[in-house]
Amino acid sequence: MTENTQDFSKFGYRELAMAGELLTKYSDNPNVIDGNGIHIEFNPNSGNVFIVDEDFNVAMMNGDVLEQWFNCPYCGHEGFLEEMDHEPQNNECTRYLKEIGVIKEEEEEEEGS
């Protein structure tokens, strides 16, 4: 497997165009990721081009919109926010879903009643 790269000389024409679109969308919405050390990476295994910060927060294009990409560190489920609703595997997974806003406190209280 080839590792992700930030080296534009390893991007193809398609990936460079995707990087350009990411930068344009990021300039319109720089708060999509609010970390430091923000840069563009290309994953040659998946073909994905994305923005990532030093804390590994990721933003990708979801259609025509730049959105944060999530990855549950406890069960591995990943996707855009609307794709993150899934059956939690454990308490840590449930806590993560609360942190990103998928599970609301009142929903959990209703389920526990």
Residue 6 lies inside a defined structural domain of this protein: yes
Q: Which two tokens stand for residue 1?
A: 């497997």
Residue 104 lies inside a defined structural domain of this protein: no
Residue 107: per-residue pLDDT: 54
- Distance CA(15)–CA(27), nearest Å, equals 18
Is the pTM for the entire model greater than 0.85?
no
Would you give the distance in Å from CA 56 to the centre of its chain?
9
Which residues touch 30 (CB under 8 Å, ≥6 apart)?
A: none
Residue 111: per-residue pLDDT: 57
Residue 105 lies inside a defined structural domain of this protein: no
- Domain of residue 62 covers 1-71
Three-state DSSP at 31 gives helix
* Number of compact structural domains in the chain: 1
Residue 86 lies inside a defined structural domain of this protein: no
Residue 104: per-residue pLDDT: 85
pLDDT tens per residue across all 113 residues of the chain: 889 999 999 999 999 999 999 999 999 999 999 889 999 999 999 999 999 999 999 999 999 999 999 999 989 999 999 999 888 888 899 999 999 989 887 555 555 55
